[in-house]
Amino acid sequence: MNNIIVYCETNGNSVAEVSLELLTKARSLSGQLKVQVEAVIIGNDLKGLEDQLYAHGASIVHKAEDSRLEFYQTLPHTSIVVEIFRKEEPQICLFGATPVGRDLAPRIASSLKCGLTADCTSLEIGDHYEKKTDTTFKDLLYQIRPAFGGNIVATIINPGTRPQLATVREGVMKREETNPVVKGKIKNWNVSEIAKKDDFVIEIIERQIEEKRVNIKGSQIIVAGGYGVGSKENFNLLFQLADVLGAEVGGTRAAVDAGYIDHDRQIGQTGVTVRPKLYIACGISGQIQHRAGMMESSMIISINTDASAPINSIADYVIVGNFSEIVPKMIKYYKKNSK
């Protein structure tokens, strides 16, 4: 009762990375609250997926399987999740801030008349004192998110409604397996009893989903380029450096908008959030919205012609100069000194 529930997404035959990140976070919150973590998983054939959920800390897995649920659909998923929340009465529920999570969570929140915070980048547990009513609310979920184009960070709470609902950005929480893995139990929900016929009025005619081609989120080293790189051809130099270092290439929105690099490599508030071991920023000024997606990198090297570029204030190493002269030198000396 009053546990934390994570709505888990699947892609094909595995659980989505963001859902496992959320289970990991839920586990640490549940430790503070002395409750358990549960997972909800909905689809057609979910055989075996519970093992991944147990491994990340779920002690109960709510499963809803139905042949009509091969692909995500708003209405049946809303009905199922609302039913589970009504019966189980969780205190906190988390969703990935993905196209699915951001389509589903508001519909659920409206149905339950509960507060929902979008796109959180951090979650904490804390108290809140309300002066007007002289009441202290204990152990609330602090839902922390950037707002106003990233210029402010707001802490949002839902003192009066349960569950407390939040969607959380991909990549901002770390995923870790439990050790040892404790096997939980499965609770099956009967879809035909919960979902109404009207829940299936939207018909999916066609779906084309590409495998994610790049995985900058998972890369330990990132070579990123900004508008200062100047052209698509110049980005080749960054790809060469990435190649010798075993890194991935990322970019700023300005570089993406200029057509220097593909959209799926954009890092920042409206792109991916990364936390690599090493981040090499070439020709990047380091506006707030870009830093929001990379400032947790363990080490940052900035290469910029402008010694006072804002990115330099969060960098560990600053090389003042033209990237087109510096990057080839880095390649050369890496080749010379490695192995």
Contact present, 120 and 166 (Cβ < 8 Å)? yes
Token readout for 68 is 């009509």
Task: Tell me which stretch binds another protein (CB under 8 A): 58-66, 151-159, 173-181, 224-232.
Answer: 151-159
> Which value, in Å, is the radius of gyration of the alpha carbons in the chain?
22
194 lines the binding site for another protein (CB under 8 A) = no
Least distance in angstroms from the C-beta of 196 to another protein: 12
Q: How many CA atoms lie within 13 A of 329 on its CB side?
A: 8
**211 in helix, strand or coil?**
coil
Rounded Cα–Cα distance for residues 96 and 253 (Å): 22
Q: Choose, by CB under 8 A, the member of 150, 187, 230, 275 that binds another protein.
A: 150
Q: Rounded distance, CA 111 to CA 221, Å?
A: 43
Residues touching another protein, count (CB under 8 A): 81
Give the x-and-dash track for 205-244 against another protein (CB under 8 A).
xxxxxxxx--------x-----------------------
Under the criterion CB under 8 A, does residue 319 sit at the interface with another protein?
yes
Q: Please count the other Cβ atoms lying within 10 Å of the Cβ belonging to residue 159.
A: 13
Half-sphere exposure of 208 (CA within 13 A, CB side): 0
Which of another protein, ligand FAD, none has residue 315 at its interface (CB below 5 to 8 Å by kind)? Answer: another protein
Decide: is 78 part of the binding site for another protein (CB under 8 A): yes
Q: Is 322 in the site for another protein (CB under 8 A)?
A: yes
Q: Which part of the chain contacts another protein (CB under 8 A), choosing from 18-26, 31-39, 95-103, 187-195?
A: 95-103
In the complex, least distance from residue 6 CB atom to another protein, rounded to whole angstroms? 19
d(CA 96, CA 166): 8
Residue 109 interacting with another protein (CB under 8 A): yes
Q: How far apart are CA 140 and CA 164, in angstroms?
A: 8
Considering CB distances under 5 to 8 angstroms, the limit depending on partner class, which of another protein, ligand FAD, none binds residue 290?
Answer: ligand FAD
Euclidean distance between CA atoms 33 and 39, whole angstroms: 17
297-314: string of b/e by CB count within 10 Å (b at 16+)? beebbbbbeeeebbbbee
What token pair was written down for 160? 């009066």
Q: Which stretch binds another protein (CB under 8 A): 35-43, 189-197, 203-211, 231-239?
A: 203-211
Footprint on this chain of ligand FAD (rule: CB under 6 A):
149, 226-228, 252-255, 266-271, 283-285, 287, 289-290, 293, 303-306, 309, 322-324
**Residue closer to ligand FAD (CB basis): 57 or 283:** 283
Measured from the CB atom, the residue of 194 and 278 that comes closer to another protein is 278
99 is a contact residue toward another protein (CB under 8 A): yes
Residue with tokens 């796109």: 119
68: contact with another protein by CB under 8 A: no
Decide if residue 106 touches another protein (CB under 8 A): yes
333 binds, among another protein, ligand FAD, none (CB under 5 to 8 A by kind): another protein
| Residue 200: CB atoms within 10 Å | 13
Partner that binds at residue 13, options ligand FAD, another protein, none, CB closer than 5 to 8 Å by kind: none
Phi then psi dihedrals of residue 260, to 5 deg:
-75, -25
Give whichever of 221 and 258 is closer to another protein, judged by the CB atom. Answer: 221
- Comparing CA positions, the residue from 210, 191, 196, 183 lying closest to residue 44 is 191
Shortest reach from residue 223's CB to another protein, in Å: 11
Q: What part of residues 265-294 is at the interface with another protein (CB under 8 A)?
A: 277-278, 288, 291
Using the rule CB under 8 A, is 187 a contact of another protein? no
Nearest Cα neighbor of 265 from 290, 245, 244 is: 290
The site partner of 268 among ligand FAD, another protein, none (C-beta below 5 to 8 Å per kind) is ligand FAD
